[in-house]
Amino acid sequence: MPNKNRVVVGMSGGVDSTATAWLLKEAGYDVIGVTMKLWEDDDPDYVEKEGGCCSLSSINDARRVCDKIGIPFYVINFKDIFREKVIDYFIDEYQHGRTPNPCIACNKFVKFDALIKKAHELDAYYVATGHYAKIEQLPDTGRYVIRLSEEKRKDQTYVLCNLTQDQLQHILMPLGDFDSKEKVREIAARFDPHVGGKSDSQEICFIPDDDHSRFLTEHIGDQITPGDFVDPKGEKLGRHKGIVHYTIGQRKGLGLSLGRPGYVTKIETDTNRVVVGGAEDVFSDTLYANDLNFMPFETLTEPMRVMAKIRYAAPPAEATISPAGEDHVKVVFDKPQRAITPGQAVAFYVGDMLIGGATIL
């Protein structure tokens, strides 16, 4: 059994992981700082210019704050599993007309699977990250659930909706109890004013310029095939650059002259067509999802009222979830939702409790 007083903290060189490491050391834990080397761009100068969690400057920041806090620091190579579980998945999903959330895949397979295994090799029972969320063990069942962060503006529970019971029992997230990001910055600034003043990362770490089309073109450009834009009746409207460049609800960058705003409403991988309709065509009140993960219970056996969130920035909406076959759920919203997007996660809440999530089909 690994040491329950030892914790590996995922260090990005940023505000939140720095504060997390200090808080756990102050709480009496034996803390080890680890930066996960996840990817390496072909152009190191580009990475340094654009930033990103794997840049040399970020690693040096993490090393410096660990030294000031007084904890050991390691850089560990996770590039192979990151490429397989996150980058290859990201590319494959776009090729199949879906819009993936790579951060959710990274959390499940890398940060809270591969890192937990590495922590056990270091005789550490726990891993910790700077996520804004709270983990709680229910007293009546012993199962683990996730609750909203006290800092609602920074809450990150949505990207944690696929974490399993085996993973949750080995995770610590001390920042969930803070009601303001400013207090967390103050902690980080004690050790390094530069780190304490860093801005929050908004982009996917392996696409630091946030240009998905550029990334996909560079990696699979020879596999991208142009096709037809069509209206909901199948009438041709023009030509598109390849389905990987589009997502449900997209309006900008279509290059169509319709005399009215046009929105992507469907991506057909079998015909290589992108369907474009009006604003009203982007709304729907029903979705189906699979890859179910529930936290307070094993499986959903009857209809249940929840608040459902269909993307990171979307507000939760009232809905009823019902079993729809093995590992499938039907979600019916009280009011139609805009741009329900295959490949994205849908997260389910009851009150301030994240009860689980699934992948939109």
Distance of CA 278 to CAs 8, 142, 219, 245, 286, Å? 50, 49, 32, 19, 19
Residues 43, 182, single domain; the answer is yes
User: What range defines the domain where residue 232 resides?
Assistant: 225-277
For 161, half-sphere exposure in the C-beta direction (CA atoms, 13 angstrom radius) is: 26
Q: Which residues pair with 332 in a beta bridge?
A: 286, 320
For residue 49, the model assigns a pLDDT of 45
Annotated binding site: 10-17, 36, 130
Binding residues for ATP: 10-17, 36, 130
Do 116 and 53 reside in the same domain of the chain? Answer: yes
Per-residue pLDDT of the chain (361 residues; tens, 9 = 90+): 899 999 999 999 999 999 999 999 999 999 999 999 987 654 555 444 444 555 778 899 999 999 999 999 999 999 999 999 999 999 999 999 999 999 999 989 999 999 999 999 999 999 999 999 999 999 999 999 999 999 999 999 999 999 999 999 999 999 999 999 999 999 988 877 788 888 877 668 888 888 999 999 999 999 999 999 999 999 999 999 999 999 999 999 999 999 999 999 999 999 999 999 999 999 999 999 999 999 999 999 999 999 999 999 999 999 999 999 999 999 999 999 999 999 999 999 999 999 999 999 9
List residues with catalytic annotation: 106, 205
| 102/34 same-domain check | yes
pTM, two decimal places:
0.92
Closest CA to 130 of 41, 193, 198, 211: 198
Let me know the angle formed at the C-alpha of 257 by 262 and 233, rounded to the nearest 5 degrees.
Answer: 55
pLDDT for res 195 = 83
Do 9 and 118 belong together in one domain?
yes
**Domain membership flag for residue 142:** no
